[in-house]
A and B are shown apart, each in its own frame.
Chain A
Amino acid sequence: MSSTDFLLVAIIFLPSVAAGAIALMDGKAVGTIRGMAFASTVVTFVLTLFLWGAWSGANADSPGDIVLLCEAGWIKSWNIYFRLGVDGISLPLVVLTGLVSMLAAGASWSINKQHKGYFILFLLLETGMMGVFLSLDFFLFFVFWEVMLLPMYFLIGIWGGPRKEYAAIKFFLYTLIGGVLMLIAMLMFYYGSGATTDSFNLIELANAASGSESTLSEFLSPETQVIAFVLLFIGFAIKLPAFPVHTWLPDAHVEAPTPISMILAGVLLKLGGYGIIRIAFPLCPYGAAVAAWWLVGIGVVSIIYGAFAALAQTDFKRLVAYSSVSHMGYVLIGLGVWSIGGDAYTAASRDYWLMGIEGAMFQMVAHGVSSAGMFFMVGVIYDRVHHRDLNKFGGLMGKMPVYSGLAAGLFFAGLGLPGLCGFIGEIFVVLSAWQFNSTLAIVAASGVILTAGYILWALQRVYLGSEYKGPHEEDITPINPREKSIAAVLLVFAIGLGVYPAVVFDMMKDSTANLTETMEQGYENAVPAVAEEEPVEQAQAMNN
């Protein structure tokens, strides 16, 4: 096992090992358990940074390819391999996962019951997330996808708020439905990849789909591609979450404990976008081109709908949850602005799509930072006054100035203020959208007004004003150093990404360029097949 193999495996399984160790500990040694869990997330985060270093070396040799492959037989009779790897698309999200997990572990001090079980599940969850981002075998991907599900279910269902059971089941069922659809698509690819290469290998499947290694006749037909894409898309859209399958999100967020909300918003939602770009896109380029309109349309509706819904909320956390729906809409738009097949499609159009994809990816990272921060800030005040009613706050700026300052920074990041991370993703996506469709682009851009509206209004009701209007006023104490450092780290990342976004763009530019090229190839290979069938149908129609 080479050192990079070890790195990949360690990133995934180090948290599980720590979880195992915690399982053997005395449940009453809360301090040790916390320390152990936090330390393991820190080490994992550091390992992801090492992975970044290793990747940049390898990427220089073969720009844009998936590198640092680690492969081992698993269920060979079904061609299932334990296959890991990283490229510019997964790397930012892996680092983000490491970061958010670390900060969420730090935020887990507020958990006040059954610490042992909590941290075991928490660490297993991290294993699942890392596994999804790093696996390159569809089957393995699916396994990790489902592995995440159970810890999350229990984390919401046991440590959650008053309606935790309802929220946990809602979350579980929604995601499970998505998983089932994905399973169907997975089997379509497995059996559609040709008799010689029944395979779950994502790289091979992508190559087959692009027509670069085998002829298209050995792969899925264009029509089947569309079906497969729709199945995958629904699965991932649930996770994203996109209108109209988003309703699990507000409930899950509201009921989940603060650190789990951070993970949920910071990482889990990204799995949807990642799934689309890693699986749905390269495996069915034709399907993606056909469905592009739906992606953008759903994205636009999500933005506007989520923003309006956020405007009407009175629960602080629910407001932030709907803002996630709104912000993740930009991801769909960015991914979908592929105008191929249209009359106006030129070589330059692909650059705009590339911008859209990178903007969407950046939006995912940025949202991971800003929304985790916003949820954390809500959690900080909730820990003190034990309510989240927006109309019963006020005047916190005077009582908790440092907290309010940090919160304002993070909420501005969510608002999409230039110089902070939220701006770059949104603006690049919107800028890339006009060439796809001007009307949709305009509607998407109008989201900036609504976003400003609901965030500023919330800030005003919570932080500004002459006095605090809710219960437990005596419990409002200044932010403590642990909370301060978590928020500060997030804010530093928000500013850093906003001021110098090139650090993320540089990571992914080779991979996204490869992706757009191969997908274009795949689409062009599929088009003749469609064109051939049409005359046949016409002939049949004439015979009839």
Chain B
Amino acid sequence: MTETGELLRNLLMTAWLLPLAGFVVEIFFGFGLFSKNPRHSKGAAWCAVGCIGTGFVCSLIALLVWVNKTGGHDTYEADKGVEKGWMSVIADHNHGLHPHGDGEHAEHSEHEDGDKDHAAGGEQGHEAEGDTDSHDDKDAHAKPHNEEASIEGGEWQLASVTAEESEEHSETEDSRSAAEFPTAFSGRLYTLGEFGSLIVSLDYYIDSLTIVMFAMVTLIATCIHLFAIGYMSDELTDDYVDHFAHTSDGKHVHRPGRFYRFFAFLSLFCFSMLGLVLAGNIFQVFVFWELVGICSFLLIGFYTERKSASDAANKAFIMNRVGDFGFLIGLMVLWTYFGTFNFADINDEGQVTGGLFSMISRSTEGEDLGNVRVDEDGAVLITSPEGEVLQDADGNNRTIPYALLVVAGLGVFGGCIGKSAQFPLQTWLPDAMEGPTPVSALVHSATMVAAGVYLTGRFYPMFTAEVLLTIAYIGGITLFVAATIAIVATDIKKVLAYSTISQLGYMMLGLGVFGWAAGLLHLITHAFFKSLMFLCSGSVIHGCHHEQEMPKMGGLLKKMPITAICMLIGVLAIAGCPLFLGLHFSGYHSKDAIVASALAFSEKNPGHFLLFALPLITAGITSFYMFRLWFMTFWGKPRDQHVYDHAHESPWIMCVPLLILAPFAWLCAYGGDQGDLYVMLTKDAPAHIENGVTAVGDGVVLPEIQEMYNQHEAAGLWALTSAGIGFVLAFALYGMNLVNLDEMKKNLGAAHGFLANKWHFDDLYDGLFMRPAHKVAAFCAWVDRTIFDTTLHFLARLMVIIAQWDRIFDEKVVDGFVNLIASATGDFGERLRVFQTGRVRQYVMFIVVGVVILFAVVFSTFPG
């Protein structure tokens, strides 16, 4: 482990563990330690903000360190000319082909400045590194460039203190140092359990995706924490009246405020989420996966008095568990065939043990199946970090059946379906809006639900072509279904919730059609603009005194201008609007990238045309329902005068986070596929996505990265047209009120009802799973009570009956025999009583007679 690695690890671990410490402090001491009147204290909130804020600072430092280091790497590679990797090729290509506006030029020069900075920083970083392992560095430099570039999977190699310092492993080092500056750091935190050769541990894994995610999560979380201080301030009371919870006599529930508890849960969530991102193995991801799940459960159900809230919390957790069931199956397969969960190779006391990502190696040679190396039987070969096939104790090649690799991929993706609310497990997310709005912004739009996408991206090297196709179709279905429901939703948060599902579908689709970077870029941009929009909606709800129905709003632009403008920025971003003040909105870049990937994919695979058509149509729908939301809320005349009269702009502590997030929502992806964010993300792109995958048999063809770039222009045009139509429609219907909406609703009653009932998924699941489950449960309980216990009682009764027979036998037969002997003896004595006269003279007679008889008998028997 280099010094940089240790520094990064320490920074990120600080950012990760601080919220945990915050949670402990807040949950135990948050109530009462900071103030004389504990229910009125904001101490817990500031503690939470402090923790996550410090975490953000740490993440930012880590980001800068990383940029410095990898920037150096970048320039070093650039020296190598043609072999320098695809990134600069793309950059060149874009210089030539991409239509740059004036603003783009300015942006580009900025970008170059950035590059220079990077280069400078990189030199420094290089020198710093040189101190520790200078001779290795020299070795590396001495090697011919092409050899370095040809080493497979070099991007995933690691450097570690032990390996570098140990002379014995110089060979490994040589191959290792090819990576120059390692693009991923991984190491072990501690071991959970060790079983022979199997080790389950907690690790960390730091690459550019980790760092970007850390920066994004901590930034958004900090903003949302601040926002929540304002939003949750009505909890700062001894007598909180919950207008949505009723007792049986119809009164509102009164309870003490729970301000500190909210922030404690938020802190716990931040800890779990950051742990998920930092996790160095898939098992650890699962651990934190569940933890974010339970935090989500706690936060959705924050208003415990509301039945709807606790129902929604249960639904969220249980549906996530359904996905996790798939995840678990994936884990079992991986564990059984690979024997490790680690993403990257771990250098454990001088021994390099391969991680999952180097165990599946890709090859472009003829023997491949979906670009995975297989043996002659079609089983996938498991390889060492050096690309050699591993062998088991008997000397056979270690393999995993191809089908099981697919199962593993689908299983892990199953977890992502649950967490990211993809079809068919999407129904929990809209219900999750029962939670306070900051929770919806943080957990259910920006971070936790994006974890599914993150994992799909993280686990990309393990997905086969079939899995990717499934991912693409799941994403495609989800994005379309959710968008259609969003059209008819009237609750402002529900619209955003369906929009979230739809956008997550976009990301999945992007990943599925081999647009790795596109999907993850959209993850980041979406996090910013969706959290912005949720906070804006929170601001509206707060300003309108907990009114969430859009039909009761309207014209709020005048009352709350900051919120309205920020919301507009978010809407423009999600709709994929280009060019505003010369700068593209982030959503334009990311959605364009996804649509371009989809277009490239569907050109290669004409049979999968839907994968391009769905996102394209949905781009229009997205634009339509988002503008519908904005127009209904902020535009036109007030529909409910009472709400309008009482509406007010939110206090500064809620507006500041909006103002912080708005520029990010607008500009975070600036520069598009040559912007800093994109370049940084793609730095550690899985090795095999560059060349695409050629089809084997009927399989799908995955396009090369180059082909996607070729489609940017066309795709951008298509998407823009679609979004434009959506905007025009929305403006016509809701901005100018050209059509009577009620009449339209009546005419399209069936369709509207179908959409308003969310495609009847809830009813379907209720009938398909919930009720049968309860039936089976009742049956099991019935079996236990009746079958088992009845059998048991029958046996017991049988025993009693046998015992009764036994008693009868004992009493009648055994005792009867004994009594018979006794009574016979008695009877005999009774008979003899007759002779016992008591008269002496008779006795003498008896003796005489007796003697005579005796004599007679003796003499007759023995005559003579």
Contact = CB atoms under 8 A, between A and B. Distances in A.
Interface in A428-456: 428, 430-431, 433-435, 438, 441-442, 445-446, 448-450, 452-454, 456
B250 to A, nearest CB: 11
Contacts of B310: 460, 464-465
B13 to A, nearest CB: 15
Interface residues of A, number: 63
B852 interface: no
Given A309-B784, A460-B313, A500-B192, 8 more contacts: A244-B788, A247-B788, A247-B792, A311-B780, A434-B335, A446-B325, A466-B242, A466-B253
Given A247-B789, A467-B248, A431 B332 contact: yes
Nearest to A170: B792
Considering residues B197, B307, B339, B784, which has the most beta carbons from chain A within 10 angstroms of its beta carbon?
B784
A395 interface: yes
A505 B193 contact: yes
Contacts of A412: 294
A115 B246 CA distance: 45
A347 interface: yes
B805 to A, nearest CB: 20
Contacts of B246: 466
B861 interface: no
A77 to B, nearest CB: 35
Interface in A445-501: 445-446, 448-450, 452-454, 456-457, 460, 463-467, 469, 500-501
Nearest to A359: B193
B193 A442 contact: no
Contacts of A441: 329, 332
Contact of B195 (A313, A354, A427, A438): A354
A520 interface: no
A346 interface: yes
Contacts of A418: 286-288, 290-291
Interface string B254-265: 010000000000
A312 interface: yes
A430 B290 CA distance: 16
B800 interface: no
A171 interface: no
B79 to A, nearest CB: 45
A397 B304 contact: yes
28 contacts: A308-B773, A308-B776, A308-B781, A310-B777, A311-B774, A348-B197, A348-B392, A350-B196, A351-B197, A355-B196, A358-B193, A397-B304, A412-B294, A427-B283, A430-B332, A431-B336, A433-B332, A441-B332, A442-B329, A442-B332, A449-B322, A449-B325, A452-B317, A464-B310, A465-B305, A465-B310, A502-B192, A505-B192
B190 A502 contact: yes
A243 to B, nearest CB: 9
A417 B781 contact: no
Contacts of B774: 311-312
A505 B305 contact: no
A238 B803 CA distance: 25
A347 B324 CA distance: 30
A465 B777 CA distance: 24
Contacts of A457: 314
A352 interface: yes
Nearest to A447: B325
B329 A466 contact: no
Interface in A305-329: 305, 308-313
B393 interface: yes
Interface string B284-307: 001110110010010001001111
B306 A346 contact: no
Interface string A332-369: 00000000000000111011101100100010000000
A461 B777 CA distance: 17
A437 B301 CA distance: 38
B777 A309 contact: yes
A445 B332 contact: yes
A117 interface: no
Contact of A312 (B287, B336, B780): B780
A466 B160 CA distance: 56
B333 A434 contact: yes
A33 to B, nearest CB: 35
Contacts of A308: 773, 776-777, 779-781
A154 interface: no
A435 B313 CA distance: 35
A423 interface: yes
Contacts of A424: 192-193
Contact of B194 (A244, A456, A509): A509
Interface string B21-39: 0000000000000000000
Query: SS class of chain A's interface: helix, strand, loop or mixed?
Result: helix
Q: Please classify how large the interface on chain B is, using the bins under 10, 10 to 19, 20 to 34, 35 or more.
A: 35 or more
Interface string A81-111: 0000000000000000000000000000000
A63 interface: no
A398 interface: yes
A20 to B, nearest CB: 36
A445 B305 contact: no
Contacts of B294: 412, 417
Given A309-B781, A434-B333, A452-B318, A466 B247 contact: yes
A329 to B, nearest CB: 13
B510 to A, nearest CB: 29
B193 A466 contact: no
B321 A449 contact: yes
Interface in B813-834: none
A464 B336 CA distance: 41
Contacts of A449: 318, 321-322, 325
B836 interface: no
Contacts of A423: 287, 290
A179 interface: no
A427 B195 CA distance: 14
Nearest to B297: A456
Contacts of B321: 448-449, 452
A465 B307 contact: yes
Contact of B773 (A250, A347, A453): A453
A346 B195 contact: no
B322 A502 contact: no
A305 B325 contact: no
B582 to A, nearest CB: 48
Given A308-B780, A346-B392, A445 B253 contact: no
Interface in A489-544: 500-502, 505, 509, 513
B415 to A, nearest CB: 12
B808 interface: no
A194 interface: no
Given A244-B788, A419-B287, A460-B314, A513 B196 contact: yes
B200 interface: yes
Contact of A355 (B193, B283, B318): B193
Contacts of A434: 332-333, 335-336
A538 B738 CA distance: 93
Given A423-B290, A442-B329, A501 B780 contact: no
Given A309-B780, A351-B198, A466-B253, A502 B290 contact: no
B784 A351 contact: no
Considering residues B195, B196, B246, which has the most beta carbons from chain A within 10 angstroms of its beta carbon?
B195
A466 to B, nearest CB: 4
B376 interface: no
Given A247-B792, A442-B329, A465 B304 contact: yes
A435 B338 CA distance: 12
A347 B305 contact: no
A431 B304 contact: no
B408 to A, nearest CB: 10
A413 to B, nearest CB: 11
B300 to A, nearest CB: 12
B27 to A, nearest CB: 8
A348 B325 CA distance: 25
A352 B294 CA distance: 29
